[in-house]
Chains A and B, each alone.
Chain A
């Protein structure tokens, strides 16, 4: 038993834990449990709920629209996680290598941590606006028509890039901390052995940093699945023709545009299961590959 456990009043401990437990139960567990229950009902405004068993689940399983949403969400998640981590890792490496000006570069790279997704969405909408955007002219001068208000894949690319941009700061914060923990002696040895910059990053730093990198994969996945609503809502509204209708936006529309509470709850439960599976896979991978840091 830990030497820190100096108090043993059960009543005292219960009182200290009570506020967190009550709020967690009432506003987190209870609504989540209700969502599971509602997912078996046909439920909307103005009439009583009707129990329909797994009908909602069956109709989603066979709904091509929902499958499409699922597919683009997974693609979106993969691109966001990969994009943000590759970019952030390289910037972190350069900041680690640079001889002076470190703190200026660092602040310039981590500030998007404070960036609200809604602001990121609007700023991006503006700079790449098909008629007004400052980037639109230069891109079109390369012979490429910017038309993401009407072209599905372009809209998808634009929200992906905006979502990556917002998440860079958070990643660089953790990567810099992890890279600074690598003993300088290791870098010195590698340099003496003639291991050059990029190879040092790939074959020495990345393996050592792998616990942090796995942590970030999980955090970034949660971000891509749950915290990117504002991008879709403000930039594309899920369109054009559903090409940016990621699960979180689809779910919101089901509940609060169409008021199909039963179906929306089914989608909530499925989203929870999907993210649960992803996190389980990632934890398994973490167990397998990240022994270097210990």
Chain B
């Protein structure tokens, strides 16, 4: 289907290209599109390119565009940030937190979405609404009582505090539900005729048929978890257990008291950006597909 749809599109585009002479108005228009895109995309890339360049320099001072040549202090800066300023530890904490959240959310959400799509039981629409409504309850509308609750549970400063409250996910349940609804019902009915129980159905039918979406939502959940800032800032007060986002704030604090160059802060920023960025680029296909499900 996709092939049939795409063929004429490509064909039209090539013929269009062939018939346009280079200096025709259409040709100039095409070049204009490139020029505009290069300018706008450069605006989006510029800040991070500056950060990357500065993270390789001896001093973090860039007062003119000619200072924007890479320096030779990359290894030194990154080593200093990772080792001397504990960024290695912060990164590891963030990684553990994010992986636990992704695995936990995925497990819990697959179960919930399966119940919502494949079980004929009363009140399940109500339960689905109950789950969806949590979108209206982000951390800021409940963080004072949550802070007290977590401390009452004795979880302050622990991995539990920055993972368990995130395990329930309206977004993930919603995406998985939409995807499950798109699996042809004939497959489900065949499974039923074969007398497959719910556990086997999940392991041998549902999960194998959802690989791309499971990868996609995992990336979405990882980026979300990795980028959390406010909640770890409140609930974690020992440096050893802190995550990279708040670790950056600690680094910046050192800069403002004059002990450190901006080059190091930019090195820390690049380190903090790298894990979600790499995952996004490597898994962009399942990620983009999953986003298109979310929208339906």
Contact = CB atoms under 8 A, between A and B. Distances in A.
Interface string B44-57: 11111011001000
Contacts of A133: 62-63
Interface string A263-294: 01100110110011001000000000000000
Contacts of A3: 185, 188-189
Given A17-B127, A174-B295, A269 B141 contact: yes
B3 interface: no
A251 B140 contact: yes
Q: Is the interface of B mostly helix, strand, loop or mixed?
A: helix
Contacts of A126: 50-51, 54, 60, 262, 265-266
Interface stretch (A53-61, A64-72, A109-117): A109-117
Nearest to A118: B245
A19 B115 CA distance: 12
Interface string A245-269: 0001001100110000100110011
Contact of A27 (B109, B146, B291): B146
A212 B292 CA distance: 10
B36 interface: yes
A212 B134 CA distance: 22
A246 to B, nearest CB: 11
B248 A122 contact: yes
A251 B40 CA distance: 35
A23 interface: yes
B142 A268 contact: yes
B78 interface: no
Contacts of A155: none
Interface in B179-203: 180-181, 183, 185, 188-189, 191-192, 198, 201
A98 interface: yes
B30 A99 contact: yes
A264 B112 contact: no
Most chain A C-beta atoms within 10 Å of own C-beta, residue among B30, B44, B284: B44
A188 interface: yes
A17 to B, nearest CB: 5
Contacts of B121: 8, 10, 13-14
A134 B68 contact: yes
Nearest to A12: B198
A173 B54 contact: no
Contacts of B173: 20
Interface stretch (B9-17, B69-77, B81-89, B207-215): B9-17
Interface of B: 8-9, 12-13, 17, 29-30, 33-34, 36-37, 40-41, 44-48, 50-51, 54, 60-65, 67-68, 107-109, 111-112, 114-121, 124, 127, 130-131, 134, 136-149, 164-165, 167-169, 173, 180-181, 183, 185, 188-189, 191-192, 198, 201, 223, 226-227, 229-230, 233-234, 245-246, 248-249, 252, 262, 265-266, 269, 272-273, 276-277, 279-281, 284, 288, 291-292, 295
17 contacts: A3-B188, A6-B191, A9-B119, A12-B115, A17-B111, A17-B112, A17-B124, A27-B164, A91-B41, A108-B44, A118-B246, A127-B46, A127-B51, A173-B291, A184-B8, A197-B29, A268-B143
Nearest 6 A/B pairs, CB to CB: A34-B145, A16-B115, A5-B120, A23-B168, A31-B142, A114-B276
